[in-house]
Amino acid sequence: MKAADIVQQLDLEDIHIVSVVGSGLSKASGMPTFRGKDGLWKTYSALDLATPQAFKKDPNLVWNWYKWRMQALLTAKPNPGHDALVKLEKMGLSLGIITQNVDGLINFGNSSEHIVEIHGRIRYAHCTKCDHIQRWDSHEYAVADDSLLYCPYCKDALLRPDVVWFGESINPKHLQKAMNWIERSTIMLVIGTSGTVYPVANFPHIAKQQGTTLIEFNVTRTPLTPICDYFMRGPSEQTLPKFVDALLSKKV
């Protein structure tokens, strides 16, 4: 469906948009997706790389994988899809962005506080013993040389990526903030997500139950497509800017 046709059918009197973002948004920035045909999980097992048990068993393997990902991230830049979300906020139409991505590319293009990085932040590392958190997104650290990162305060305690691994709980403050936005939303944009990772995959269902209009942007249909009111097929860096521009042309 064309962006202009969707906008034509929306109630534009009182718009409160919340966006749920998956890895498809960052693919055009050079970041591989996790569950697409070229996804990282096709090459690596999540249980080997993204669990507390895996880190305890082989921290070198886990850190080298994250360093490899950081090498790609250091050259990545926000794409037109990220820019479109920034436009929505500047126009005062966005309640917030709930992103499953840990790459920080939305923050890179937009320093707003209206972002919940629900699965954490790969650009940061935290101590496994104390509360210390530090950035490690530099060429100095992103070298796959089997070196480990240690806390400068605890000395012998390892740093680990500041992300939520499989089997770990999401920060309850982040969940609460996301739920507050969902409860206030009139439109939810579901962007580049597989719709299979919970609890985020449940957010569109919650929004739908309260009458929020759901608009999905993806290259293929997902488990969320049947409950969405509109579906824009194609890369989100192409479809999302078209939708935002069409929306803003009606609001200006």
Q: Which residues are catalytic?
A: 119
Unique residue bearing structure tokens 């500041």 = 162
Spatial contact of 26 and 97, defined as CB atoms under 8 Å apart = no
> What is the biggest distance separating any 2 CA atoms in the chain, rounded to whole angstroms?
60
Q: What is the DSSP letter of 198?
A: T
Burial of 176 (0-12, 13-18, 19+ CB in 10 A): exposed
Reduce the DSSP state of residue 67 to 3 states and report it. Answer: helix
Q: Within 10 Å of residue 169's Cβ, how many Cβ atoms?
A: 7
Token pair listed for 141: 């650290």
Angle, CA of 41, 81 and 160, to the nearest 5°? 40
- What one-letter code names the amino acid at 238? Q
